[in-house]
């Protein structure tokens, strides 16, 4: 399978993991050990990153119905490494009623090709997107 296509498939699994509230499907796109530098959370490394992300996602999916839209601006390959960047648009609908919450973040991911040939996110970073202002 073409490497760019494989990363696109993994990003589809990431999206569908959110849209189906499947914590393990979201985590499946990460390398066994990764660094999570998500906005508004402490940086997590290696095994601790997976433990904390699993807990955070489980709590999120209990409280909200999630709908994730992934906008990939680019994927660049460098041998057994790659990066992609773009936006994640996340709409969270409270399960017990209330107004939906919309979050748009810009993200950057470093991917590593695993020994089995699969691609996994080894570094994840995002932050809140800021609207452009007219100067």
CATH number at residue 7: 3.10.450.50
The reply to whether 51 falls in a domain is yes
User: Would the pTM count as exceeding 0.85?
Assistant: yes
Kindly state whether residue 135 falls inside one of the protein's structural domains: no
Number of neighbouring beta carbons within 10 Å of residue 6: 17
Beta bridge partners of 82: 77, 111
Neighbours of 70 (CB within 10 A): 17
Query: Does 69 map to a domain?
Result: yes
What does the pLDDT average to over 100-126?
A: 96
Range of the domain at 98: 3-128
Structure-block tokens of residue 3: 């490497």
Judge whether 134 lies within some domain: no
Contact (Cβ atoms closer than 8 angstroms) between residue 120 and residue 30 = yes
> 46-92: per-residue pLDDT in tens?
888 999 999 999 999 999 999 999 999 999 999 999 999 999 999 99
What is the pLDDT confidence band of residue 1, given thresholds at 50, 70 and 90?
Answer: low
Number of folded domains that form the chain:
1
Query: 121 forms bridges with which residues in the sheet?
Result: 30, 111
């Amino acid at each position: 399978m073409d490497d760019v296509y494989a990363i696109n498939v993994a990003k589809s699994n990431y999206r569908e993991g959110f849209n189906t509230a499947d914590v393990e499907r979201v985590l499946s796109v990460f390398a066994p050990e990764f660094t999570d530098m998500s906005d508004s959370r402490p940086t997590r490394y290696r095994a601790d990153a997976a433990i904390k992300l699993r807990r955070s996602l489980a709590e999120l999916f209990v409280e909200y119905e999630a709908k994730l839209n992934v906008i990939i601006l680019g994927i660049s390959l460098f041998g057994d490494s790659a990066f992609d960047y773009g936006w994640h648009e996340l709409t969270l609908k409270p399960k017990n009623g209330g107004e939906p919450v919309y979050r748009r973040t810009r993200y950057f991911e470093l991917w590593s090709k695993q020994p089995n040939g699969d691609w996994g996110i080894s570094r994840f970073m995002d932050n809140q997107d800021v609207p452009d202002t007219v100067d």
